[in-house]
A = this chain, B = another copy of it.
Amino acid sequence: MSLHLSLQSIAELVGGKIEQGDPQSIITGINSIAEAVEGELTFLGNERYLPALQSTRASAVLVGPSFTLQLPGKALIRVDNPTFSFTSAIRHFGKSDAVLEVGVHPQAVVSNKARFNPQKVSIAAGAVIGDDVEIGDGCRIGALCSIGAGAKLGEDCLLHPGSIVGPRSLLGNRVVLQSGAVVGSDGFGYELIKGRHVKVDQIGIAQLDDDVEVGANSTIDRARFGRTWIGEGTKIDNLVQIAHNAVIGKHCVIVAHTGIAGSVRMGDYVTIAGFVGVAGHLEICSQVIILAKSGVTKNITEPGAYVGFPAKPLMEGRRQMTAASKVPELLQRLRELERQVAALKGEAPQAKDSKE
């Protein structure tokens, strides 16, 4: 990323204060600590990178309020939140991806029963839009997306290439689907009848409220009936599975490789780290954090952090983890005790003997 701006201008742009360095020096680019070269600006977003910072080739660094290190020869701009300020700088100068052109690409396949304002949406080549689909103004539908019959999209949705929206799905405003995301696949429900798994019809829908984002190749099954429902502002990472009839609250964060089984009810501001499984029909209250690789097997009714499989409150979980690591030592101590007790029992008769 190339630019040409004085340190002073950068400081103004990010709302920071120059603590060190020549305000007239020229910044020529923006980059990470590891990849920056001379002339570029970087930032310290995480204390982990302090050692790396010592050897960065960047000429200027955005640092936070608590930064106290000496960095001779580097320009320093102090800001409240280096990560956020850096993002602002990127947004200002960054080369962003080409915006999809407004209008319907001649090689898109759009039902004449679909409803949208062709002056205000963008539909790329190879997209297939079904009957009775409604698309709000400002939506951008990427190449090779499929939107099934009767689906409705609010305004300003962004469907990256190859994302798929099943029939009758409902998407709010500003919903983002990364490539390969599937919304509205059939739920996984069968009845075993005479030795065969007979499909339980899945005729509900998937509903994604405003500002939901779904990661690449994640899957959100539609409900058996009613709806699988992702609340406003919830963000879902890549390769996540949300099963039929699950109801996820608002402003949750669900990290990659997580699976939420059928009919789970989850409150608001729940954070689920990667590789977590939540068993079917459970309830998880608001303000819960589930740590990575946990498995939730019971309702969680108290806010807080949980860990392990089965998931338990963080303190208890950590205690068990620590204890588990001591089992080999524990086995040795037990063996030693057994030896001592055997010896004591051996001594006791001797003692008795000596008394007689």
Q: Report Cα–Cα, A144/B334, bound state, in Å.
A: 64
Which residues on B sit within 8 Å (CB–CB) of A180? 164, 180, 182, 185, 217, 219
Give the distance in Å from the alpha carbon of A166 to the alpha carbon of B216 in the complex: 11
Given contact pairs A109-B125, A245-B32, A251-B195, A200 touches B83 in the complex (Cβ within 8 A): yes
CB < 8 Å neighbour of A128 from B109, B124, B221: B124
Contact status of A182 and B182, CB under 8 A, knowing A32-B245, A167-B98, A330-B331: no
A238 touches B (CB below 8 Å) = yes
Q: State the Cβ distance, A205 to closest chain B Cβ, in Å.
A: 10
Report the stretch among A62-70, A71-79, A348-356 that lies at the interface. Answer: A348-356
A259's partner among B124, B143, B162, B275 (CB-CB below 8 A) is: B275
**Chain A contact residue count (CB 8 A cutoff):** 122
Is A31 close to B, CB under 8 A? yes
From A200, A293, A321, residue with most partner B Cβ within 10 Å: A293
CB-CB contacts below 8 Å: A327-348 with B: 327-328, 330-331, 333-334, 337-338, 340-341, 344-345, 347-348
Indicate if the CB atoms of A90 and B203 lie closer than 8 Å.
yes
Q: Is the CB of B216 within 8 A of A196?
A: no
Cβ contacts under 8 Å, A203 to chain B: 1, 90, 94-97
Point out the residue from B190, B274, B320 that lies within 8 Å of A324, measured CB to CB: B320
When A167-B98, A217-B180 are in contact, do A235 and B161 touch as well, CB less than 8 Å?
A: no
Which residues of B lie under 8 Å from residue A166 when comparing CB positions?
160, 179
Contact A279 B292 (CB under 8 A): yes
Given contacts A185-B179, A235-B190, A337-B337, contact A97 B32 (CB under 8 A): no
**B contact residues around A116 at 8 Å (CB):** none
CB of B201 within 8 A of CB of A87, answer: yes
- A259 to B239, Cβ gap below 8 A? yes
Interface centre among A215, A217, A226, A310, by most B CB within 10 Å?
A: A217
Contacts of A146 in B (CB 8 A): 126, 142-144, 161-162, 179
In this complex, the member of A166, A176, A185 whose beta carbon has the largest number of chain B beta carbons within 10 angstroms is A185
B330 touches A330 (CB 8 A): yes
Pairwise interchain contact A185-B196, C-beta atoms closer than 8 A: no
Most buried by B among A83, A98, A150, A195: A98
Is B164 within 8 A of A162, CB to CB? yes
Neighbour of A338 across the interface among B149, B337, B344, CB < 8 A: B337
| In the bound complex, CA of A223 to CA of B334 (Å) | 51
Contact between A128 and B126 (Cβ–Cβ < 8 Å)?
Answer: yes
Q: Write the nearest CB–CB distance from A50 to chain B, whole angstroms.
A: 12
Q: Mark A220-238, 1 if CB is under 8 A from B, else 0.
A: 0101011100000101011
Can you pick out 15 interface pairs between chain A and chain B where the beta carbons lie within 8 Å of each other? A94-B203, A96-B201, A144-B162, A160-B185, A178-B185, A179-B182, A188-B237, A190-B235, A196-B211, A196-B251, A217-B217, A257-B257, A257-B259, A334-B337, A351-B352
Going nearest first, the 5 A-B pairs with the smallest beta carbon separation are A185-B216, A323-B327, A146-B161, A109-B125, A128-B143
